[in-house]
Amino acid sequence: MAAALLRRAVVVAAVLATVTSLLAPAAVAQLSTSFYSGSCSSLESIVRSGMVSAVQQEPRMGASILRLFFHDCFVNGCDGSVLLDDSSTLTGEKNAGPNANSLRGFEVIDAIKSRVDAACPGTVSCADILAVAARDGVNLLGGPSWGVPLGRRDARTTTQAAANSNLPSPSSSAATLISAFASKGLDSRDMVALSGAHTIGAARCASFRSRVYNDSNINAGFATRRRQVCPAQGGVGDGNLAPLDAFSSVRFDNGYFRNLLSRFGLLHSDQELFNGGPVDSIAQQYAGNGGAFSADFVTAMIKMGNISPLTGSNGEIRNNCRKPN
């Protein structure tokens, strides 16, 4: 009898521990997909409308907004800090090495914020608007959709140094990428899935010059074609663009991974995902199974969106996404 009771107690304790571990991230973050259901029920339709206009005007904007969200979350958490302009009292993230001359889409977020505030004044954070806009950008280019946990508040400050030290480089190795993502609570599968965001968008010559002139694990014909838009001399043509996915850069699919299997990765860090290393099997799985990639991408996006958000009374709801109140 006593033994049976002890076994039952152990089982109950194990179940409670499992439930607690599953709920802990959401509980700590206090994020919820229904956070604005009573205070701004039109939020998602307003963001969707703004993103439809932006993507119709320029399909690449879906990728640009997704990249903004990634760069926001990896620097001090998903707190809208990437949107802050430099001022006499703040040197922000926009001109950090990984962001200067490449981050874009700020005006899209500004326009959506104006419309959201017209409907729900002082209610919705810039950080949450960016999170929803990133989801819609993916979906409008043919990718999956998902419920976005909300309730983030906006940071009042940030530093350029934080962006320089936290954002992975296009020259990163697989080991460096795994470590960088692990430091944010994201595992190897999350890292590979999130890297699949490179199925849309474009990169600047300055980011892939070394890859197409110096790397050996690259398809020779592909390297030759990319050299045509990217001169060997540094400082010349740095801003020239090439699609990250050679075949479907405005459609969110698993083509990025198929490219890697053919050594068509545009960035050094892209090809590191399939280069005889620890995550080759994941990239190979995604190349053959677009559904698995989409499902894991959604999981990873939700996890990334839960990196150190400001909630409760922390931070603020910015009136202007570009500056603290």
Q: Give Cβ neighbours of residue 173 (< 8 Å, ≥ 6 apart).
A: 269, 272
Answer whether 249's CB lies under 8 Å from 201's CB. Answer: yes
| Average pLDDT value for residue range 140-144 | 98
CA distance 235 to 253: 33
Which of 165, 190, 220 terminates a domain? The answer is: 165
What does the block give as tokens for 129?
């608007």
Residue 217 pLDDT > 80, yes or no? yes
Q: How many domains does the chain have?
A: 2
Task: Print burial letters for 46-73: b (CB count within 10 Å at least 16), e (below 16).
Answer: bbbebbeebbeeebbbbbbbbbbbbbbb
- Any binding-site annotation on 216? no
Please report whether residue 60 resides in a domain. yes
Please report whether residue 4 resides in a domain. no
Same domain, 161 and 85: yes
DSSP string covering 192-244: HHHHGGGGBSEEEHHHHHHHHHH-SSS-HHHHHHHHTTS-SSTTSSTT-EEES
| Average pLDDT value for residue range 171-200 | 98
Residue 23 pLDDT > 50, yes or no? no
Please report whether residue 263 resides in a domain. yes
- Any binding-site annotation on 210? no
Average pLDDT, the chain: 92
Residue in the block written with tokens 């197409």: 212
* DSSP class of 100: T
**Residue 24 pLDDT level (bands cut at 50, 70, 90):** very low
Residue 15 pLDDT > 60, yes or no? no
Instruction: Name the percent of the chain lying above pLDDT 90.
Output: 90
**HSE-up (13 A, CA, CB side) for residue 244:** 28
Which of 125, 148, 165 terminates a domain? The answer is: 165
Same domain, 182 and 214: yes
- Any binding-site annotation on 110? no
Render pLDDT for 33-53 as a digit per residue (tens, 0 to 9). 999 999 999 999 999 999 999
Render pLDDT for 65-75 as a digit per residue (tens, 0 to 9). 999 999 999 99
- Any binding-site annotation on 79? yes
- Where residue 88 falls (left for φ over 0; alpha for ψ -120 to 50; beta otherwise) is alpha
Please report whether residue 266 resides in a domain. yes
CA distance 133 to 140: 10
Q: What CATH number does the domain containing 78 carry?
A: 1.10.520.10
Higher-scoring residue by pLDDT: 25, 183: 183
Chain centre distance of CA 176: 17
Q: For residue 313, what pLDDT is reported?
A: 95
Domain that holds residue 251: 172-303
Q: For residue 30, what pLDDT is reported?
A: 84
Same domain, 232 and 110: no
Residues assigned a catalytic role: 71
CB atoms within 10 A of CB 93: 27
- Any binding-site annotation on 12? no
Render pLDDT for 114-138 as a digit per residue (tens, 0 to 9). 999 999 999 999 999 999 999 999 9
- Any binding-site annotation on 72? yes
Please report whether residue 309 resides in a domain. no
CA dihedral 129, 134, 135, 140 (to 10 degrees): 120
- Any binding-site annotation on 268? no
Same domain, 271 and 160: no
- Any binding-site annotation on 77? yes
Render pLDDT for 262-281 as a digit per residue (tens, 0 to 9). 999 999 999 999 999 999 99
